[in-house]
Structure 1
Amino acid sequence: MIVLLPPSETKRSGGDGPPLRLDQLSFPALNELRAELVAELGALSADVAASRRALGLTVKQDAEIERNATLTSTPTLPAIDRYTGVLYDALDIDSLRGAAAARARARLAVGSALFGLLRADDAVPPYRLSAGSKLPDRPTLAARWRPVLEPVLAEIAAQELIVDLRSGSYAGLGRVSGAVRVNVLAEHPDGHRTVVSHFNKAHKGKLARALATSKAEPDDAAKVATVARRAGMQVEREGDDLVVVVPA
């Protein structure tokens, strides 16, 4: 089983790993486009105004542009440690030990606008590029990633179950047939349900932790739901998709 996470806009600074080596990342079929995007971001960083427009940044976020200028020279961290925010706080990878930590690092993967798909321990620098970013005079990231990323995802899906926790924009970079997708809905006292926005990420992080550390090896939606329920979550099936229901 692979638990496919979204990235985060915020990323931890620093690192103690060597500078980026694309040839050391998982899924080498993605390296040609990775190299193109790294080079394009580096060149774009020389034009601060153009970077702001392309990346949707404000003046106060110019440090993000500086990160892109040093993509190939700055120290790296494992991807699972680089990304931060609500989902990653709930996942709390640093608290895992022993066999649970090993299972989690083997099962977790991250979708990325810059790298396409990363394993948990792939070493990456801090960067700024979102799924909705539009680099100057280039096709959309979805148009560029789909032809190369979807075959990789399909190859993985042919061998093991993918639980896809990515948001819509990142799922659009590479669709995967047969994945278990997860929605989070808030149930109100009168019984009606609404989409959870901010805390959606926290519940997906909790689910990711349960799945990544489970001794079970789910191979369909029903078994994924069983693991989630054992972790105390209220889960319903909708075909091959799951709905996590939380109090409003």
Structure 2
Amino acid sequence: MTPERLRALLAEVAAGALTVDDAERRLAWEPFEDLDFASVDHHRALRQGFPEVVFGQGKTPEQIAGIAARIAPRGDGFLATRLADDAAEMLAAKIPAIELNPLGRTAYLPPAEPVARKTRGSVLIVTAGTSDLPVAEEAAVTAAAFGNPVERLTDVGVAGIHRLLARTDRLRSASVVIVVAGMEGALPSVVGGLVAVPVIAVPTSVGYGASFGGIAALLGMLNSCASGVTVVNIDNGFGAAAAASRINLLPAS
């Protein structure tokens, strides 16, 4: 249940179009649902503005589809991340309207009645290299699903910094910048030194042996000398987009 649906329900009660008992029954059905293998949180949207997001890694296709079957019919939208190919195929077969992003390994079903959200501006997602795109696309799909205008700036890492410097106008026009980089993780520091808005750094596991699966990039970003740079976990595009949304989305009036 979203805040908008709750207000609509309360308005029906106030107008006499819905009895208190009927409203109570609707609300009693909402908090969570026990599926044996999962407890689906149906009040996540009411608390946080978007329904529970399903993390697909480690779940079977049947489990993911079972959770989707309980969330999607409510009309508030559905998002799953870290999907294996077989899970994505099962979701597409069961929910034809779902939008798959194979590169980002996501599945997104828009809400039945899209809500126009007020934002401070756009979320710009910057990638150091093409190898960082899977994590960047996870962030892009998530940010868009949460109601943000999303822009992308790809393959502008420090190995050819002129590619970034030629596009500083795009950096400065964003309200929040998510920077996705592997290897030594230097790009967020560069971006942090060029903009006056929040920069969320995402280390990726891309790199040779001494990158230690993203730990080198993580430590480099945590030790950034540029102010305003915060860091999420390795390969956590979803977490970066969720944080960016909390910064960028304005409260409903």
Aligning the two structures, in what range does the TM-score lie when normalised by the shorter sequence?
under 0.3
Structure with larger RCO (C-alpha < 8 A, sep 6+): 1
What is the TM-score normalised by the length of structure 2? 0.26
Specify the structure having the higher radius of gyration (Cα). 2
